[in-house]
Amino acid sequence: MDRLRVLLIFGGESSEHEVSINSATNVLAALDTARYDIKLCYIDRAGQWRLVETIEARNQSSPHLAPQLGQRSLLIDGVDPLPIDVIIPVLHGKNGEDGSVQGLAQLLHIPYVGPSLLSAAVTMDKDMTKRLALGAHVPVVPWRTLANDAPRPTFAEIADELGAPVFIKPSRAGSSVGVSKVHSAEAFTAALDEAFRHDDTVLIEQAITARELELAVLGRGTSARVSMPGEILPGEEFYSYDDKYSTASTSRVIIPAEVDESVATELQRLALAAYHATGGHGMARVDFFLDPMGQIFLNEINSIPGFTNISMYPKLWEASGLSPQALVDELIQEALASRSIRGV
């Protein structure tokens, strides 16, 4: 039997470039070479697509790839076609997780793993995610959205509206890039400037004392299923980029989270409600806060969750009995089954 031709795309132009490389390394290790003919596409920081032999050799000279629209293939150095049966975009952040690559895959007529164009674009935008979640009766933390060209409020005005401290974060970024916890007027301006470096819209969000709980969703429609909840125990004041990925991090995860069964059931219900409200497709990690009063708030939805050694998404499914290899196999089969629905 012919092996399925898989194109694993990694790297990208976003600030999560290195996270993507780490995720792709683990996805590649989970792909069965007896079943899949795997090709590697590295997107460098300038946005060029290149066909590489190995992830480690990504910085060596290599052929360029260009889309051959409608042909289910890409062109190697503009000449030789590279036919592909399914794309696995292991990309985080802008121009990868925001619908861009998903739209290109549709124009190529190639099935792809993960979120649809719509769900990728929606969940990449934290403001839009909150608005849709509220419409589905999923509680969210109070927030205010600020555009870069709008008059900036003072810290005192924000404190009157949302309390203090507050979190300031880019509306469209992940891995806690550009996120600051602000306690004072002195830090407020610098935090806004840092968030606006990553996006032209930022969220100013009420800071709450809460546990951080995450769940994994797999599938689409009524067949989508959700994992048990896991808990993040940050090693810093909040779960920052360094706390997530630094080798010196003291953060920990607990799977399953130590919560009452009724709380776990409610988290699962809300995770599916948020997933469906945002057009969830393929996979997502849905993150919540649980405050001391037992109130649950949606934090965010990550439609291409990390697959690094410390990432919660594969850990949650492994704890539920689905190995990394079985998880990747299921994601590929889901992509192939979704072809007619997505129109690719």
**pLDDT score for 248:** 58
Q: Which residues of the chain carry a pLDDT beneath 70?
A: 1, 174-175, 235-250, 339-344
Task: Outline which parts of the chain fall under CATH 3.30.470.20.
Answer: 121-139+208-303
Which residue matches tokens 């794309």? Answer: 87
Whose CA is closest to 197, among 175, 179, 181?
Answer: 179
Topology of the domain covering 4-114: Rossmann fold (3.40.50)
DSSP SS3 for 179:
coil
Contact 75, 48 (CB under 8 A): no
Rounded Cα distance, 180 and 188, in Å: 9
**pLDDT score for 93:** 87
**pLDDT score for 245:** 47
Residue spans of beta strands (DSSP E) within 12-156: 36-43, 49-52, 65-68, 73-76, 80-83, 86-90, 143-147
CA distances from 93 to 14, 90, 124 (A): 5, 10, 8
Q: Which amino acid is at 13?
A: E
Q: At what angle do helices 261-277 and 126-135 cross, to 10 degrees?
A: 110
Task: Outline which parts of the chain fall under CATH 3.40.50.20.
Answer: 4-114
Residue 205: partners with Cβ closer than 8 Å, 6 or more residues away: 141, 142, 143, 144, 162, 166, 167, 168, 169
Which residue matches tokens 């995610």? Answer: 129
In what helix (H) or strand (E) does residue 106 lie, and over which residues does it extend? helix 100-108
Which residue matches tokens 């497709």? Answer: 281
Arch. (CATH architecture) of 143-206: 2-Layer Sandwich (3.30)
- Tell the CATH superfamily of the 121-139+208-303 domain: ATP-grasp fold, B domain (3.30.470.20)
Q: Is the peptide bond before 256 cis (omega within 30 degrees of 0)?
A: yes
Strands of 65-68's sheet, edge to edge? 65-68, 73-76, 80-83
Rounded Cα distance, 177 and 175, in Å: 5
Task: Outline which parts of the chain fall under CATH 3.30.1490.20.
Answer: 143-206
**pLDDT score for 1:** 61
